[in-house]
Amino acid sequence: MVNSLVTPRILLRRWQEDDLDAFAEVCSQPEVMRWIRDGSVLDREATAERLAAFERHWEEHGFGLYALVVRETGELAGFTGLAVPTFLPEIMPAVEIGWRLGRRHWGLGLATEAARAVVQHARDDLGLERLVSIHQVGNEASARVMIKIGMHLERETVEPSAGRPVRVYELDLTRG
């Protein structure tokens, strides 16, 4: 199990107990959460539940969502990593690459840099052959990251729990 990845500007690492307040601040931002499930912000308690779920995912699958830390400042900016997207049964079995960054970290290329490191990890360390990413229609910044890391549109569908239209992008990891 790889517990951390490093890029020139980013440390991707497993979650720590003292990450809760910083991640709760990210999840309390309406502009960040607008594209997550039904668009609701999370309070501290709900964020703690998500972090516990992230850890259960790591234990069950041997991979998961990494805390994204800006190396220069040590600030937790959000996450990038891998998850099993059971919320979208029609694409299963699958492994999803995803990211969520606080508003002040948008537009800096951090999501793309982190996602590229996670793609390499998925291919080289985990031996995965395919990744997907789910794009809430309208979240064009996230779609641009998907395209920058080499993904292409696989299908359009509806996310069942929120009833929102989504696009599923995929990346074939067997092509070097």
Residue range 79-93: mean pLDDT, rounded:
96
Longest distance between any two alpha carbons in the chain, whole Å: 42
String of DSSP letters for 103-171:
GGGTTSSHHHHHHHHHHHHHHHTS--SEEEEEEETT-HHHHHHHHHTT-EEEEEEEETTTTEEEEEEEE
pLDDT at 1 over 80: no
HSE-CB at 46 with a 13 A cutoff on CA atoms is 9
The per-residue pLDDT for 176 is 60
* Total domains present in the chain: 1
- pLDDT tens per residue across span 7-46: 999 999 999 999 999 999 999 999 988 988 778 999 999 9
Domain coverage including residue 104: 4-172
- Alpha-carbon gap, residue 32 to 122, rounded angstroms: 26
Cα 31 → chain centroid: 16
CATH number of the domain encompassing residue 72: 3.40.630.30
The per-residue pLDDT for 118 is 98
Residue 63 near residue 1, CB atoms below 8 Å: yes
Tokens 């052959």 correspond to 129
pLDDT band at 2 (very low <50, low <70, confident <90, very high): confident
**Quick count: other Cβ atoms within 10 Å of Cβ 73?**
8
- pLDDT tens per residue across span 122-176: 999 999 999 999 999 988 999 999 999 999 999 999 999 888 899 999 999 998 6
